[in-house]
């Protein structure tokens, strides 16, 4: 994947860099369960007994489709999800996008483009939430989300513009994360909820 300049409008220059790295090095690394963890061994046994096709998640090639159920504000929807690409920006893009570039020293924006197609269920009346579950990791470390930076990125749609989303229709939602400049491998991850195993699409960053 070649680096390309992010053609984001000047309006995005006021985007706020979210410094709270929630999820960074979180439960993925924890080998010991916290004492307050509910469910204990019984929940682990249930997870092991759960059929693989119901667990979801797993690694996919770029553009490969995953299928997952999702709750859109009470409306049950089955989506086909495919991470299409990740556009990686430059240090110059960082200076334009981040209100305080010093807080993002050594980081560049990475815009994940993910296509969602309603396969079954719906329609989704408005303001779909599925695109909000997109995450970008660089060399195994979760990036820092840059709120609002993807609104004007080419090929990206705003969830606020989507109305009456019916089966068979597709939309591309994007999220921008700040990642270390020079990261070798980028992954786009998506899961229906925090308890679900994520789908992971890998992209080489050249």
Q: What CATH number is attached to the domain comprising 93?
A: 2.60.40.1240
DSSP structure class, residue 102: G
Cα(131)–Cα(26) distance, rounded to whole angstroms?
A: 22
Looking at the domain assignment, is residue 86 inside a domain?
yes
Cα(82)–Cα(26) distance, rounded to whole angstroms?
A: 25
DSSP structure class, residue 76: E
Segment 92-112, tens digit of pLDDT: 999 998 888 888 999 999 999
Looking at the domain assignment, is residue 34 inside a domain?
no
pLDDT band at 149; cut points 50, 70, 90: confident
Segment 11-67, tens digit of pLDDT: 343 455 543 333 333 333 333 333 334 344 344 444 444 444 445 799 999 999 999
Looking at the domain assignment, is residue 180 inside a domain?
yes
Contacts of residue 172, defined as CB under 8 A and 6 or more positions apart, other chains included, come to 84, 113, 114, 115, 116, 155, 156, 157
Looking at the domain assignment, is residue 30 inside a domain?
no
Looking at the domain assignment, is residue 49 inside a domain?
no
Question: Long-range contacts: 88-91, Cβ < 8 Å, 24+?
Answer: 88/1, 88/3, 88/4, 88/179, 88/186, 88/205, 89/3, 89/5, 89/6, 90/3, 90/5, 90/6, 91/181
pTM over cut 0.95: no
Burial of residue 144 (CB within 10 Å: 0-12, 13-18, 19+) is buried
Could you list the residue range(s) of the whole structural domain that residue 157 is in? 10-19+60-204
Which residue has 């159920």 as its token pair? 69
Looking at the domain assignment, is residue 161 inside a domain?
yes
Total of domains in the chain: 1
The 10 Å Cβ neighbour count of residue 46 is 10
């Amino acid at each position: 994947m070649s680096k390309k300049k992010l053609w984001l409008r000047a309006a995005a220059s006021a985007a706020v860099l979210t410094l709270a790295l929630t999820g960074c090095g979180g439960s993925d690394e924890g080998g010991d369960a916290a004492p307050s963890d509910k469910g204990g061994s019984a929940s682990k046994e249930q997870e092991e007994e759960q059929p693989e096709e119901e667990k979801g998640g797993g690694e996919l090639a770029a553009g490969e489709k995953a299928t997952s159920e999702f709750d859109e504000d009470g409306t049950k929807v089955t989506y086909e999800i495919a991470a299409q690409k990740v556009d990686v920006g430059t240090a110059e893009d960082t200076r334009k996008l981040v209100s305080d570039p010093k807080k993002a020293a050594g980081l560049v924006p990475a815009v994940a483009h993910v296509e969602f197609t309603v396969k079954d269920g719906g329609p989704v009346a408005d303001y779909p939430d599925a695109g909000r579950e997109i995450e970008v990791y660089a060399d195994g470390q979760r990036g820092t989300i840059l709120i609002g930076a993807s609104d004007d990125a080419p090929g990206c749609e705003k969830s606020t513009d989507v109305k009456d989303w019916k089966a068979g229709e597709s939309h591309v939602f994007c999220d921008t994360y700040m990642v270390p400049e020079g990261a070798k491998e980028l992954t786009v991850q998506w899961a229906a909820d925090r308890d679900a195993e994520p789908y992971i699409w890998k992209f080489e960053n050249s």
